[in-house]
Structure 1
Amino acid sequence: MKLHHLRDLLAVADHGSLRGAAREIGIAQPAMTRSIQELEKELGVALFERRSRGIVPTAIGEAFIRRARSVDNELVRARDEVAQLRGLTHGSVRVALSMVPHMALLPEVLRPFRQRFPDVRLDILDAVFPTVAAELQDGRIDCYIGPPPEQLPEGLIVEKLFDNTRVIVGRKGHPLAQAKSLSELAEAEWLTTSITAQAEHELGPLFAQHGLPPPTLVMQAHSALTLIVALLYSDLLSMLPTQWMRFPLTRDVLQAFDISEPLAAPPISIIQRAGLPLTPAAEHLCDLLRRAAAHMESGNLGEAVRLP
């Protein structure tokens, strides 16, 4: 098995046709066909089957393609790592951040990272763990920073950066802004985020813990922009990490309700694959995130609480 076999395999999987894959790679279609046949002969199984709209992977093909993507991603990282160890500063780092590290940590790390690795392409996804777990496992993402899942998938490791708390948030001037307990918010309508697979898991257990009926969930937001717009232009409430009330773009237009019940939040952590080192650039980014988290916990928020 040669590297070009894996390259061709992934191209066919991505394009769904031998012709499209050959065009993408820049080789003749018969050469692409021969490459896939050689790989199937070596493995002793069919990796693709023909359908009316092209070719699709077999069940075994799907499994092998996942491994091949991981190998391909590691080869890219290996090249980046060698170049960076030689003192060069090119390559790429791809990470996923939930909303809290976007607000509390990213403002402190962008400038120093760019100063150290000015030619490294930084690719940042706005996401929570369930939406990027597969990409993290197969190496398409270097690491994830945000709330960890209840059950960590095999092959991943987690490193806690800091514990967190939440607050009830609504627009400035909200009619329920003077509420002092969850019971006074029982009739409110709620906006939830996408931190969990099921929206009711965010608020339902909290209300049940205090003997209250389930909250009325009317909207779920999958981005910070949706959350901001919905909160500003409605009377919806949401339970959000406390960093929302420190961030320059939201602290002056939203307000936290001073309710008596404690509102715990998941910790913010770094999750990456076990046994596989990050590239120097990716590791430097994680070091900067660790330092920013330490500054935040000590009360020295730096640029995370003010615009440049």
Structure 2
Amino acid sequence: MKFHQFRTLVAMADTGSIRAAARALSISPAAATKAVRELEAEQQIALVTRSASGIAFTEAGQALLEHARAILHQMARAQEDLDRRRGQNRGTLSIGVTPWLALSFLPDAVNLFRARMPQMRLEFYEGLLNIAMPRLRDGTLDFSLGKPVQASLHAEFTQTPIMATESAVVVRKGHPLEHAQSLREFQDSEWLLNWDPASKEMIADTVFHRHGLPLPQKAHLAHSWAVAMGLLMHTDMVSIFPWPLIETRLARENLSALTLQEDVDRTMVSIIARRGVPLSAAAECFLDCLKTSVRAGATSPDSERRRLYRSLELLI
């Protein structure tokens, strides 16, 4: 298996056709076809099927494609590492972030990182862990910042806790239950969670069952914070937000965070990366910028920033 074969395979997957892949790689369609056919002949297995409507990957092709993406990403990382040792801090750092991090602490960390490594290009993916995992596997993401992974994924990913915060139940201002004092009062409410698909089980264990309460009948999922905010602002749905998100201006102006008898949820944020793949110098620099920003924000002369950062506990 050769590097140019992997590069062609990935280009075909990204563009959806042999001709488009050839254009992206600045080679002829014949050369692109030859690279894949030679790979199939070497491995004695079909990787790509061709038809008038385009190309499709076989099961074996899909499996190899995942490895090809990871290899190309690792080669790019190796080049960036050598560039850095030559004093050329160029390249791309790709990071997955959960929405509340993007809306609260991310800007300060980015500003500091840009000052330290101005030639690095940043690429962000907003998404929950189930969205980030495929990109972590194929190397599209260097790391992700979000909730810890499930125990079944520990062999595949490393996770390093970096910060934690408390959460609260939130409703729109003027909600019929805006002055509720207990979770019991929300048994018949429709919940909207900006969490992963496992959220129904998580909310059962961490929010309701530990207080001896049954799980609400309806728990919807929103994979976008913007969608969640739009629905919460204009319906009687109920949600759970981490405090840093509650402290953002948009949330403060439109939502009410309730003080209930029960503790709601403690949100942990971890650095999640592929096991066996060390973080790049740029990734380490970015994480140091994040930690520095959190520490500085907690003592900021700006009262609004202090409110935001003091709702967070730094773990490293």
Whether these two folds match at TM > 0.5 is yes
CA–CA distance in structure 1, aligned partners of residues 86 and 46 of structure 2:
42
Q: Structure 2: give runs of 5+ residues left out of the alignment.
A: 307-316
1:254 corresponds in structure 2 to: 255
CA–CA distance in structure 2, aligned partners of residues 102 and 85 of structure 1:
31
Contact 1:177 1:257 in 2 (8 A): yes
1:233 and 2:244 aligned: no
Contact 2:128 2:223 in 1 (8 A): no
TM-score by length of 1: 0.88
Deviation sequence 1:112-140 (CA, Å, 0-9, x none): 11111223221111111111101102211
CA–CA distance in structure 2, aligned partners of residues 53 and 304 of structure 1:
59
1:155 corresponds in structure 2 to: 156
The secondary structure found in structure 1 opposite 2:251 is coil
Q: Letter of the 1:306 partner, please give it.
A: R
1:23 and 2:40 aligned: no
Structure 1 residues 155 and 187: alpha-carbon distance in aligned structure 2, compared to 1, 3 A threshold: closer
Task: Identify the range of structure 1 (42-51 vs 107-116) with the bigger mean alpha-carbon deviation.
Answer: 42-51
The secondary structure found in structure 1 opposite 2:88 is coil
The secondary structure found in structure 1 opposite 2:170 is strand
Contact 1:158 1:269 in 2 (8 A): yes
Deviation sequence 1:195-225 (CA, Å, 0-9, x none): 2214533433433443434324364322111
The secondary structure found in structure 2 opposite 1:72 is helix
2:128 corresponds in structure 1 to: 128
The secondary structure found in structure 2 opposite 1:201 is helix
1:159-170 matches, cutoff 5 A? 159-170=160-171
Contact 2:171 2:178 in 1 (8 A): yes
Q: Letter of the 2:101 partner, please give it.
A: P
1:173 and 2:174 aligned: yes
Task: Identify the range of structure 1 (252-261 vs 218-227) with the bigger mean alpha-carbon deviation.
Answer: 218-227
1:285 corresponds in structure 2 to: 286
CA–CA distance in structure 1, aligned partners of residues 275 and 82 of structure 2:
20
CA–CA distance in structure 2, aligned partners of residues 116 and 81 of structure 1:
16
Task: Identify the range of structure 1 (84-93 vs 109-118) with the bigger mean alpha-carbon deviation.
Answer: 84-93
What's the offset of the Cα at 1:56? 2.1
Structure 1 residues 83 and 200: alpha-carbon distance in aligned structure 2, compared to 1, 3 A threshold: same
TM-score by length of 2: 0.86
CA–CA distance in structure 1, aligned partners of residues 16 and 103 of structure 2:
39
Contact 2:167 2:267 in 1 (8 A): no
1:70 and 2:70 aligned: yes
RMSD, aligned α-carbons:
2.5
CA–CA distance in structure 2, aligned partners of residues 183 and 76 of structure 1:
53
CA–CA distance in structure 1, aligned partners of residues 16 and 245 of structure 2:
43
2:276 corresponds in structure 1 to: 275
Contact 1:248 1:306 in 2 (8 A): no
CA–CA distance in structure 2, aligned partners of residues 289 and 213 of structure 1:
39
Number of aligned positions between the proteins: 304
Structure 1 residues 111 and 22: alpha-carbon distance in aligned structure 2, compared to 1, 3 A threshold: closer
Contact 1:83 1:90 in 2 (8 A): yes
1:220 corresponds in structure 2 to: 221
Contact 1:105 1:304 in 2 (8 A): no
Contact 1:162 1:293 in 2 (8 A): no
Contact 2:90 2:119 in 1 (8 A): yes
The secondary structure found in structure 2 opposite 1:46 is coil
Contact 1:162 1:268 in 2 (8 A): yes
Once the two structures are aligned, what percentage of the paired residues are identical?
32
1:13 and 2:17 aligned: no
The secondary structure found in structure 2 opposite 1:251 is helix
Q: Letter of the 2:12 partner, please give it.
A: V
1:33 corresponds in structure 2 to: 33
Deviation sequence 1:65-92 (CA, Å, 0-9, x none): 2111111111122222222232223211
Task: Identify the range of structure 1 (183-192 vs 260-269) with the bigger mean alpha-carbon deviation.
Answer: 183-192
Contact 2:47 2:61 in 1 (8 A): yes
